[in-house]
Structure 1
Amino acid sequence: MSLNVLFLLRNSFVLLISLMLIIISESAGTKLKEELVLLSIFEQEQNISKIKNRNFN
């Protein structure tokens, strides 16, 4: 194989790996956002229950 073909294959491989990493990081970011939203909702529910307990006492 010529040197140009080897460089083309290497660059294609690097591009493929880069795209895979971008996709993985995007999906991880989405998952993290979902978990943060759920945590926020849970904390709000905890705060509401604390306020209700204070009002009943």
Structure 2
Amino acid sequence: MGILEAEYKPSMTVAAGEKLVEKAIQNSIARDVMSGNAIDILTFTKSGAKEKYIEIKELGE
């Protein structure tokens, strides 16, 4: 995962981290069409957990 290695910073906000994950997975899906039709991002913080579901057609919009 070159994108994660290149762009991750320990001081990132949760929102910035989520955007980075979307970017990395979108890039991977572009190279492997058998990856599926959506991604799930699960975020865990001290405040609790949240799930974000993104369909492939939404990626990059």
Q: What TM-score bracket applies, with the shorter chain setting the length? A: 0.3 to 0.5
TM-score (norm 2): 0.34
Q: TM-score, normalised by structure 1?
A: 0.36
More strand by share: 2
Report which of the two structures shows the higher radius of gyration computed on alpha carbons: 1
Higher helix share: 1
